[in-house]
């Protein structure tokens, strides 16, 4: 079974520590909910995992193989749907899908 392991994840914005030595393990098919107050780092965590925000430090492994956040999206091992709009205005989803989905499973 595929396993994603994250450890020693740290992220600060200036003097404000958002994520401090965060760790997470999850297996393929698991659904994980992340709950917390506004500003506690939920969105920052996901943005780090998908390479849109740089962590101060992070250790990520998939099945024991070290991987960087920049390798996550091209690897197609993890999917993420951001809460904020991310498509250019005027572009239809059906036109974007072929860019991300080749039909190979």
Identify the CATH number of the domain in which residue 50 sits: 3.40.50.300
pLDDT confidence of residue 57: 94
Domain, as residue range, for 46: 3-100
Q: How many domains does the chain have?
A: 1
Has residue 105 been placed in a domain?
Answer: no
Q: Is residue 87 a part of any domain in this protein?
A: yes
CA–CA distances in Å: residue 15 to residues 11, 12, 45, 53, 58: 10, 7, 18, 17, 18
Establish if 78 belongs to a structural domain: yes
Q: How far apart are CA 61 and CA 53, in angstroms?
A: 18
Q: Looking at the domain assignment, is residue 90 inside a domain?
A: yes
The tens-digit pLDDT sequence of the chain (105 residues) is 688 899 999 999 999 999 999 999 988 888 788 888 888 899 899 888 877 889 999 999 988 989 877 776 555 666 666 666 666 777 777 787 776 665 555
Asked whether residue 27 is domain-assigned, the answer is yes
């Amino acid at each position: 079974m595929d396993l994603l392991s994250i450890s020693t994840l740290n992220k600060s914005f200036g003097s404000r520590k958002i994520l401090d030595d965060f760790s997470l393990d999850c297996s393929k098919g698991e659904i994980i909910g992340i709950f917390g107050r506004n500003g506690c780092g939920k969105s920052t965590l996901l943005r780090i995992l998908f390479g849109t925000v740089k962590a101060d430090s992070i250790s990520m492994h998939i099945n024991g193989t070290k991987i960087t956040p920049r390798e996550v999206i091209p690897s197609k091992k993890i999917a993420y749907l951001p809460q904020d709009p991310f498509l250019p205005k005027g572009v239809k989803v059906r036109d974007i899908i072929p860019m991300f989905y080749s039909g190979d499973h």
